[in-house]
Amino acid sequence: MSYSRRAEVYEVEYVEDRDREFVLSLIGGNARVVEIPCGAGRLSRWIAGEAAELTVVDLEPKMVARALERARRGARARLDGRVADMRKLDLGREFDLALIPREALQLLAPADGARALAAVGSHVAPGGLMFVDLATFAGAGGDPDYYDAAADGVWRENWTRRLGAGAELTRRSQQTRERDAILFELDYRIRRDGCETDSWRSRMRLFRYDREWVEAAAPRGMSPTAIFGGYDKTDFSAIAPRLLALYRKCG
pLDDT tens digits, 39-63 = 999 999 999 999 999 999 999 999 9
Question: What type of residue is 246?
Answer: L
For residues 7 and 229, is the Cβ–Cβ distance under 8 A?
Answer: no
For residues 246 and 227, is the Cβ–Cβ distance under 8 A?
Answer: yes
Residue 4's pLDDT is what?
65
pLDDT tens digits, 199-235 = 989 899 999 999 999 999 999 999 999 999 999 999 9
pLDDT-based confidence at residue 37 (cuts at 50, 70, 90): very high
Among 43-47, 100-104, 190-194, the range scoring the smallest mean pLDDT is 190-194
For residues 160 and 132, is the Cβ–Cβ distance under 8 A?
Answer: no
Q: What percent of the chain has pLDDT over 90?
A: 78
Residue 86 reports pLDDT greater than 60: yes
Task: Give pTM, 2 decimals.
Answer: 0.93
Q: Residue 247's beta-bridge partner residues?
A: 130, 224
Domains, the chain: 3-136+208-249 (3.40.50.150), 156-206 (2.20.25)
